[in-house]
Structure 1
Amino acid sequence: MGGMAEDPLDQLYAVAPEEFTALRTRLAAEAKKRGDAAAAKRIAGARKPTVAAAVVNRLVHHDPEVRDQLAGLGEELRAAHTTMDGERIRELSSRQRKLIEQMTRAALDTSEVASPTAALRDDVTGTLQAAIADPEVTARLGRLAKAEQWSGFGGFGDAELVFAEPAEKPAPVEKQAEKREKKPKEKPAPKERPAPSDTDDRERRRKREQARAVLAAAERAKTEADDTMADRQSDLATARLRHDDAKARLAKAEQALEEAEAAYQDAKRASREAGEVVKAAKAAMRDSG
């Protein structure tokens, strides 16, 4: 792994999950000791990552080019979807599958996960996919607290139109003429209606817009809930720091009390012994007088 990160949070999210809590406590204490209360609060409020999130975080800290590669491919895919360039999308999608497969292997190797479960592999793959699809996820790489999952909406939401099976092409005029000659006379065709494919496209667009509205509302609610949870987590972390400080001060006070009691007992014993010496000396003086 590379050198020590400048930002304590980067240093924190670059370690294995089992080392996270102890390092978080130490870094928060160090920040508090140097008088940086804001940094101490920020560090103490950092959420411990899941195993999958930690695997991706450590890959990003190990190879800084990962973030740029994912972001670059995401931009290319969004541009291709905007222009509805089916051939370009298929080319980039193939590249995307290979890149994610390579990065998943590299991430598991970096974290020394020899036999990953299917769930862990899926979470790592899903997080890398989400980073390609969503720039906000890309920006959080390296400090993820949980695995991410691409919702299927947003910049790539129009993919279904690009890859939809084309409607059956009409037969050439000559073939149509042959069919008319072979078939008995039929009733006049009903008034022409919109092509089913156009109706389907409009319905898909309508449903997609509705889904996007629902998703946007759900994401706003989740963001608010996450913010509230982060505030409460930060308060909890601060309270734990204060509790730890109080425990440390109590331990020192108890040690000082024990030492004071021991010193008092020594002094008491010395006073008693000295009193006995004085008493003996007085008795000796009486006997000699």
Structure 2
Amino acid sequence: MSVEDDLVTLYGVAPEEFTALRKELVAAAKKRGDEDAARTIAASRRPTTAAWVLNRLVRTDDSVRARLGGLTAELRAAHAAMDGPRIRELTRTQRTLIAELVRAAFEAAELSNPSAALREDVTGTLQAAIADPEVAGRLGRLEKAEQFSGFGEFGAVTATAPARAARTAAPARPKAPAQPTVPAKELRAARARRDAAAKADAAARKAAESAAAEAEELRTRASTALRRYQKILDTLSAAEEEMNTATAELHAAERAAAKADEAAAKAAADLSEAEDALADLDAG
């Protein structure tokens, strides 16, 4: 399995399952000797809820990327041609498409009552994906919500429209409807929540990685100690067996020595009697 396959799998699970699976995939990469893959996987950030919702959307509907990319191309062409009516038409199409994809995203994620902040993050990221192909390219492996600002590359082209109008002496065209705006206070609060959550997530990931490293070190030490203990047990068992053999041999030797002492005492007594008898005979 390649690191790309691992990442596709990793970003396909729910956020609450992400950390445990990331740990498993890092261990698997290390086991197969792919240290680069292990580092890449370990550096992957757990997606926010909004990012996960959109990742799930593009995984369940293959047409999402094509629809977003097609609208991006049409908007770019309309702005390059400075075609006001077409830009307004595509702007309405954009709002309709985003509304449709937002509904589909929450249905795919089985979130029937998303918060206003979550809905805002999903909507803003889809808008950013239309304006910025790089954001669109990250769909499926998003780590966080993206922020939409203006028309991205389109804005620079639109700025030349007044000069073209002056050259052609055409009547002024009405501006395209502005994108709906979010109250600044609500936006700041949402950003603050996102930033706080990102910091908490980073701290939690760092703590988890530190704990995992410490656990791995302790596991290695415990394994080493166990091997040493087993070796000591083996040595002790051999020593006990040797001691038992020596003890049995000692007891046998002691019994043999006792018998030898008895035989020596009897021989000494026999010798004494024989000497006494010889002395009596000599005296007679």
- TM-score, normalization: structure 2? 0.63
How big is the shift at 1:287?
Answer: 2.7
Q: How do residues 1-20 of structure 1 correspond to structure 2 at under 5 angstroms? A: 7-20=5-18
Does residue 278 in structure 1 map to residue 249 in structure 2?
yes
Q: 1:81 aligns with which of 54, 62, 79?
A: 79
Shift of 1:44: 2.3
Given residue 244 of structure 2, which amino acid in structure 1 is its aligned partner? E
Larger of the two Rg values belongs to structure: 2
Alpha-carbon offset, residue 100 of structure 1: 1.6
Pairwise mapping of residues 1-80 of structure 1 onto structure 2 (< 5 A)?
7-80=5-78
How far apart are 1:155 and its partner, in Å?
2.7
Q: 1:147 Cα deviation (Å)? A: 0.6
Task: Give how far 1:127 is off.
Answer: 0.8
Aligned equivalents of 2:159, 2:4: Cα separation in 1: 46
2:13 is paired with a residue whose SS is coil
5 Å matches for 1:127-276?
127-152=125-150, 154-157=152-155, 246-276=217-247
The CA distance in 2 between the partners of 1:15 and 1:79, in whole Å, is 37
Deviation at 1:119, TM superposition (A): 1.4
User: Take 1:137 and 1:38, find their aligned partners in 2: how far apart are those partners?
Assistant: 25
Secondary structure (helix, strand or coil) at the match of 2:111 reads coil
CA contact (8 A) 1:31 1:40 kept: yes
RMSD: 3.6
> Quick one: distance in 2 between partners of 1:131 and 1:33?
37
Q: Deviation at 1:149? A: 0.8
Question: In the alignment, is the contact (CA less than 8 A) between 1:81 and 1:158 conserved in 2?
Answer: no
Q: Name the % identity.
A: 48
Question: Aligned residue for 2:169?
Answer: none
Aligned residue identity for 1:77: L
Distance 1:279 1:109, change over 3 A: farther
Distance 1:61 1:244, change over 3 A: farther
Partner of 1:115: 113
**Which fold has the larger relative contact order, with Cα–Cα distance below 8 Å and residues 6 or more apart in sequence?**
1
Deviation at 1:275, TM superposition (A): 3.6
Shift of 1:241: 8.7
CA contact (8 A) 1:48 1:145 kept: yes
Structure 1 residues 64 and 247: CA distance shift in structure 2, 3 A: farther
Contact preservation (8 Å) 1:5, 1:11: no
